[in-house]
Structure 1
């Protein structure tokens, strides 16, 4: 029986004999409790993590000075602090199991409060032991970070090749904040090492073992820990990105043998040799490290006398560390912290970058949609070594929130010029990047060009959006958000609408806590810039993409609808276009061709939008992946399922180098232009101006007395003419609300101002001679066969108009427009005699006879009961059978 270091009597223990195998000198008698604990500690710490013999011996000597009474005090203290410790366990549950297996083992033990029986000199000696352990673990951690960063440069370089191991975006995700963490800890390690070297000298004792001497209170390290803790926010970004990084590593490990080889054989130099890690294991190291910070500081504070100059600084560092872990835990539990009505909990449902319109100024903001509220924040990207921050802008409760969206597609000349200037500069920077990519000599210059390109795209992202989402709160607070994409706006609107219809009562938030948690909660870290996320390979499209919108079906009731088409890629050119609005119909037809100049396009988005009472409503939407292998210069027909609505369209793609963006991206005029030219520009056989006017007259003018005979006001007709010459969609919108007589006047004006009459002039005399055929059937057969020589747009437009006029005459008991009346109105516009002296053969007739012939020819055609069916558009399904694509 002997006396233990803690003053209690004990018997020899087998654990001590076992421990001697690990190099422990058992000259110091221990009680049962101290013996077991110390043996476990020295075996696990030293064997697993290579802690030096001197550091381990000194540490265990200090531990064995603790009596059983203090062990009881530790238990009580742990119970008190259990609530604080649960922060770490909630966020990182596996830490409770591995707390003694971490490289930070020697400093992560929860030491009791400073014993009163220890002198200040003894405390300072133990403090030095803890600091040495921290320094050793920092060195190990830095080696692990270096091992993690080792392949970063190679992976980043391969991202710009034709066969990248990881894309640029994936590289950014995997190594997010890791270089900054390495630099932060390198600075801390260098400072701590210099302080310890200056204050501690190692001498060789007479027995061959190392002894330590120090200068006591002169050793100051609190400022180093404060500096480290002031930058600990970097871990917040790493934690928020961790799951995404691990997902990238796992997916690429499974799919790419090159990355699998790399990820399973990461090497770290541990001083005496090399340790093999997996990529995922190294990614976990920062996560493991940050959870130990509070424990390390608590251990150090427990060995620092209250009167020491470091005490206050270490207390503040401990406060910052606990506050950070608390914030991380709050952010991870934010979804279940606040109880809302219906037993629901506040959750982050969606977030992303939008443009906030306030007092006429546009500002890029980060928007967060929670279960019960909408939070708008200002993102402040921190400089290197500091934490990104979000600052509160405004929030709106979802309860009772009203919203509506609209589009302002017309831009002022100044805005148009500004956007064109930005796009031109972006195009030139893009060309420079292509040139720099071919040579390794211009790496720095390429980085500058890419940075400028990102800045230009941010400006474009702020000033180009035209889709408005207006939010109206019951409290009277209103806000307007702008989106560059109708598809994106509809996703936000749907998410907001679903939550507002649930009628969840809003719990007043702690705005400071909620805004602070945004850094960790965010699902979107960067604005949607194509310059940073582009995949520059054969998968992306560069050239002209043509989309022909044919028809739609599946509407629940007749509606006036249009189709909006959007493409992605660089912002050098317009990325969206819309068809004109159809008339009220269950099966609307457009047969309208939309053309896009695309660079880097990979996705096509299609939306079907209904119009009613001046309000647009998205009836359905779908996204299509653009594959260059399946697209070519021949049309390929598809049917898209946009919810309940089905849209039939055709795609055609022609790859070619692109010209710089043009500032005159205006629609070609249609009036006073040959009909063949207009048809070719629009990709149709019957010009849209003819079809739209005919549809509008049939919608609301069939019962109008004197339709086509009584014209509208000249000013209204000229306004509609100008609209058709500049913007088809705007023209059709005006057409829907214009006087119906102005609509009929526009149709007559179009035919009247054709440079060449719809029925070619060279057919005038042949048709005049056919009027002499007495048998009406023979006469019609001859006249119809004569039209076969007409160009396709002329012939099909003529048949399309004749069928419309026949339908008008069916209502002649109401509108008083017989076939003869209609022929009298349209005859002189549709058929013109040859000009005398231009070499035309045949008889010359006077003007009165010309008018009679013009009227009689059109009247004969109108009397035909079996007119050929008019084809309004070109065939677009010549390359493949119809395909059906679901959303």
Structure 2
């Protein structure tokens, strides 16, 4: 088996071997990277029908007794033919790998070698021996299959297979290869990079057990190969078990300065370098980040650049990939069992290839960076998890580990990598009735348990196929001990089984801090179209959420996300889109004014920059989270200007125009109590979003006037500013009473109505969100 990282680090601080050598030898080896887009996005009628390279590629029954011996022998022959073709492809790859080895070995004897002879031997360790071993296995298997499939003039093809099926013996070939055979490579027309070729033997060794299992399932117990294949399978499983035990024992490595190195976590990330993206296996140690090259954490800057976006070309590419995934998934569902194993294996293989492309090109969250390269993660929870994992690292660590430590470290990393694969959902997904397919709605209400006031937001992510966006984030709350959002997030999901939440504290000019995280199992039996409220424990924070689920078939993903503008849109439409009673733009602006504008002289009277106000208006129409983030940094007079602009641009005033005359008549009532009763009767006849938003604004303006000694804004001043925006004369009535009511009289009535409401000391409370909780008591989830 090919071994990587057996020598000391190279002069530029990167690991020798397949992880970092491709750039070093770029001048010697020219191998273009060709992504399998053409192969993926076209039908492969001429491709191999079966592949034993994956657990889901050949779905044979669990025991041989489920098929007749003739059917088992026929399938066995198909699997062996695919293995033969796979070996032929792999031998060509090994030959391609030996070409740069010869060039590098020749340059090692020059005055300016690319690599030393020892490094060449380390990088290409036992590659010639591996090639010879597989050549011997390929020749033996080909000879036996050729003899078996040689046509007999006296027998038909089916009769020939039945006649000679028990005579085809290959178990001794597999036993001879033992665990060194590394069977299983994709039959593909793709050209590989030098780096990918170096990893090929490591990728193959992990799949040997699956290949042997496929062959054993198709071998009758009476066949003389059965016992031999059982022994080979036992040896294979024993080897993999030993790798797991060995990797566990290697997780702690003693550093030269007396500290103890431990493996914190490992997984797959995307590496962006020189405009190219590659999938990398990441290993995070207490002082080292290792994935293709190593970065000493003492000099590593961990950051999170949130709300990154793809370019239009990248978005179109991702839409094409997601659409292809959706169609392949639908085909697998519709034709399950109707077109045979060959069709299912080919479709699933395509799905895996497309999903791997999506995993490579979709991430936008930067988790770690160096001058020439970045580590990009697919979601904000994963990015924040990586960042949070780096909190205990100290700055006193050495900038480079010593060679003996590195040797032990990389040995453990190679063994870990052998036992894991990229997280493809199409590989691990199980068709389960409990998984969700449809629309999942998550309402994030509030949080409690903070030790000190903070601006907090919540990241929500679901699993399943990545046809649609799988994650969303609330806007950041105001600086508070009890943050609240009442924000509804919606997900289109397919085969979703788990919901993950991450609560993050946002500090101005500083790194965000993870306050807690948790996961919730999604149960189709308990979730329905009625809201279900529950409280989740996320470390030091308790977050209250509500969930509901509507099952339905999914449509293909759209090319662009639907925009839900809020300005110049009727308030009932905005509140329905947001799942609230008071629009978020109103709540966020009012909260921000109360946070830092109550002491501002002339608040709401002095206008902010019109360009800044229009910029915030545009952002609110496209991205609520981005708008709230900008709102937190904007001048407070700009914030107050955005709130006034929202009410001015409502197509219909907040108090419907048909209520104007009724309110005007109420003002004529001399008795104060009777007048208020009449006015509140008119208010209660308004639609719920209008009524609750109006009450919310009244309470807000009352709190502003409480600081009138400082801000000089009395109730009359505020009524004068907001009256014309909140209440208007009906357009249809202008021609009817226009001669008897001029503009000055109308303005006076508008101001008097709002002033009368503001003078009320017992205003009803505004309901800001819809009643998501349908149960009598909240459900508390302890995780």
C-alpha distance in structure 1 between counterparts of 2:240 and 2:623, whole Å: 59
C-alpha distance in structure 1 between counterparts of 2:656 and 2:607, whole Å: 26
1:468 is displaced (CA, Å) by 1.1
CA RMSD of aligned residues (A): 4.3
Is residue 431 from structure 1 mapped to residue 381 from structure 2 by the alignment? no
1:536 is displaced (CA, Å) by 1.7
- Contact 1:236–1:328, Cα closer than 8 Å, also in 2: no
Q: Report SS of the residue matched to 2:402.
A: coil
1:500 is displaced (CA, Å) by 4.4
Q: Which residue of 1 aligns with 2:773?
A: 877
1:748 is displaced (CA, Å) by 0.7
Is residue 799 from structure 1 mapped to residue 695 from structure 2 by the alignment? yes
1:574 is displaced (CA, Å) by 0.6
C-alpha distance in structure 1 between counterparts of 2:755 and 2:585, whole Å: 23
1:191 is displaced (CA, Å) by 4.7
Does the C-alpha gap of structure 1 residues 454 and 243 become closer, same or farther in structure 2, counting only changes over 3 Å?
A: closer
Is residue 541 from structure 1 mapped to residue 445 from structure 2 by the alignment? no
Question: 2:512 pairs with 598, 613, 616, which one?
Answer: 616
Does the C-alpha gap of structure 1 residues 330 and 447 become closer, same or farther in structure 2, counting only changes over 3 Å?
A: closer
C-alpha distance in structure 1 between counterparts of 2:175 and 2:445, whole Å: 67
Is residue 284 from structure 1 mapped to residue 234 from structure 2 by the alignment? yes
Deviation digits for residues 335-367 of structure 1, max 9, x if unmatched? 4675544363x5544221101122343221111
Does the C-alpha gap of structure 1 residues 640 and 834 become closer, same or farther in structure 2, counting only changes over 3 Å?
A: same
* Residues 799-808 or 828-837, more deviating: 828-837
Deviation digits for residues 800-854 of structure 1, max 9, x if unmatched? 0000001111111111111111111010111111224589899952222111110
- Listed as ranges, the matches of 1:141-156 within 5 Å are 153-155=60-62
Deviation digits for residues 195-242 of structure 1, max 9, x if unmatched? 9xxxxxxxxxxxxxxxxxxxxxxxxxxxx9999599445697798799
Is residue 592 from structure 1 mapped to residue 499 from structure 2 by the alignment? no
Question: 2:343 pairs with 428, 432, 445, which one?
Answer: 445
Q: Which residue of 2 aligns with 1:342?
A: 258
- Contact 2:179–2:205, Cα closer than 8 Å, also in 1: no
Does the C-alpha gap of structure 1 residues 738 and 288 become closer, same or farther in structure 2, counting only changes over 3 Å?
A: closer
C-alpha distance in structure 2 between counterparts of 1:856 and 1:329, whole Å: 80
- Listed as ranges, the matches of 1:562-711 within 5 Å are 562-614=457-509, 615-711=511-607
Deviation digits for residues 10-69 of structure 1, max 9, x if unmatched? xxxxxxxxxxxxxxxxxxxxxxxxxxxxxxxxxxxxxxxxxxxxxxxxxxxxxxxxxxxx
Q: Which residue of 1 aligns with 2:634?
A: 738
Q: Which residue of 1 aligns with 2:319?
A: 420
Deviation digits for residues 748-784 of structure 1, max 9, x if unmatched? 1111111111111111111111111122222112111
- Listed as ranges, the matches of 1:142-541 within 5 Å are 153-155=60-62, 191=140, 228=177, 231-232=180-181, 269=222, 283-286=233-236, 334-335=250-251, 339-342=255-258, 344=260, 346-377=261-292, 394-399=293-298, 401-439=300-338, 441-471=339-369, 479-500=373-394, 507-509=401-403, 515=410, 518-522=413-417, 525-541=420-436
Deviation digits for residues 620-655 of structure 1, max 9, x if unmatched? 111111111110000000111110011001001000
Q: Report SS of the residue matched to 2:528.
A: coil
C-alpha distance in structure 1 between counterparts of 2:352 and 2:336, whole Å: 17
C-alpha distance in structure 2 between counterparts of 1:290 and 1:655, whole Å: 41
Q: Report SS of the residue matched to 1:531.
A: helix
For structure 2, which runs of at least 5 residues remain unmatched after alignment? 1-54, 67-82, 91-132, 145-172, 184-200
C-alpha distance in structure 1 between counterparts of 2:257 and 2:322, whole Å: 48
C-alpha distance in structure 2 between counterparts of 1:538 and 1:775, whole Å: 66
Does the C-alpha gap of structure 1 residues 236 and 828 become closer, same or farther in structure 2, counting only changes over 3 Å?
A: closer
- Contact 2:209–2:237, Cα closer than 8 Å, also in 1: no
Does the C-alpha gap of structure 1 residues 494 and 737 become closer, same or farther in structure 2, counting only changes over 3 Å?
A: closer
- Contact 2:182–2:205, Cα closer than 8 Å, also in 1: no
Q: Report SS of the residue matched to 2:516.
A: strand
- Contact 2:527–2:547, Cα closer than 8 Å, also in 1: yes
C-alpha distance in structure 2 between counterparts of 1:158 and 1:644, whole Å: 55
C-alpha distance in structure 2 between counterparts of 1:839 and 1:881, whole Å: 55
C-alpha distance in structure 2 between counterparts of 1:630 and 1:371, whole Å: 41
The count of aligned residue pairs is: 618
C-alpha distance in structure 2 between counterparts of 1:709 and 1:289, whole Å: 77
Question: 2:677 pairs with 778, 781, 800, which one?
Answer: 781
Does the C-alpha gap of structure 1 residues 824 and 426 become closer, same or farther in structure 2, counting only changes over 3 Å?
A: same
Deviation digits for residues 486-537 of structure 1, max 9, x if unmatched? 2222333333333548958863246677556544223762111112111222
Deviation digits for residues 553-582 of structure 1, max 9, x if unmatched? 111111111111111111110111111111
Does the C-alpha gap of structure 1 residues 840 and 682 become closer, same or farther in structure 2, counting only changes over 3 Å?
A: farther
1:287 is displaced (CA, Å) by 5.9
1:711 is displaced (CA, Å) by 1.1
Question: 2:743 pairs with 833, 841, 847, which one?
Answer: 847
- Contact 1:267–1:275, Cα closer than 8 Å, also in 2: no
C-alpha distance in structure 2 between counterparts of 1:232 and 1:282, whole Å: 11
Deviation digits for residues 264-294 of structure 1, max 9, x if unmatched? xx995596x99899x9x88534467999xxx
Does the C-alpha gap of structure 1 residues 732 and 562 become closer, same or farther in structure 2, counting only changes over 3 Å?
A: same
- Contact 2:437–2:493, Cα closer than 8 Å, also in 1: yes
- Contact 1:466–1:482, Cα closer than 8 Å, also in 2: yes
Higher relative contact order (CA 8 A, sep 6+): 2
C-alpha distance in structure 2 between counterparts of 1:570 and 1:289, whole Å: 33
Does the C-alpha gap of structure 1 residues 612 and 856 become closer, same or farther in structure 2, counting only changes over 3 Å?
A: same
For structure 1, which runs of at least 5 residues remain unmatched after alignment? 1-147, 160-175, 196-223, 249-261, 292-324, 378-393
C-alpha distance in structure 1 between counterparts of 2:396 and 2:439, whole Å: 44
C-alpha distance in structure 2 between counterparts of 1:636 and 1:734, whole Å: 33
Does the C-alpha gap of structure 1 residues 781 and 842 become closer, same or farther in structure 2, counting only changes over 3 Å?
A: farther
Q: TM-score, normalised by structure 1?
A: 0.63
Q: Report SS of the residue matched to 1:437.
A: coil
Deviation digits for residues 411-444 of structure 1, max 9, x if unmatched? 33222222112211211222222222140x2532
C-alpha distance in structure 2 between counterparts of 1:343 and 1:589, whole Å: 43
C-alpha distance in structure 1 between counterparts of 2:227 and 2:319, whole Å: 56
C-alpha distance in structure 1 between counterparts of 2:472 and 2:63, whole Å: 36
Q: Which residue of 2 aligns with 1:117?
A: none
Deviation digits for residues 141-188 of structure 1, max 9, x if unmatched? xxxxxxx99x972139999xxxxxxxxxxxxxxxx99x999xx99975
C-alpha distance in structure 1 between counterparts of 2:381 and 2:244, whole Å: 33
Q: Rg bigger for which structure?
A: 1
- Contact 1:671–1:725, Cα closer than 8 Å, also in 2: yes
Does the C-alpha gap of structure 1 residues 788 and 524 become closer, same or farther in structure 2, counting only changes over 3 Å?
A: farther
- Contact 2:202–2:418, Cα closer than 8 Å, also in 1: no
Q: Report SS of the residue matched to 1:492.
A: helix
C-alpha distance in structure 2 between counterparts of 1:336 and 1:269, whole Å: 48
* Residues 724-733 or 442-451, more deviating: 442-451
Does the C-alpha gap of structure 1 residues 354 and 337 become closer, same or farther in structure 2, counting only changes over 3 Å?
A: closer
C-alpha distance in structure 2 between counterparts of 1:288 and 1:186, whole Å: 25
- Contact 2:268–2:281, Cα closer than 8 Å, also in 1: yes
Q: Which residue of 1 aligns with 2:665?
A: 769
C-alpha distance in structure 2 between counterparts of 1:620 and 1:740, whole Å: 31
- Contact 1:640–1:885, Cα closer than 8 Å, also in 2: yes
Question: 2:724 pairs with 815, 828, 838, which one?
Answer: 828
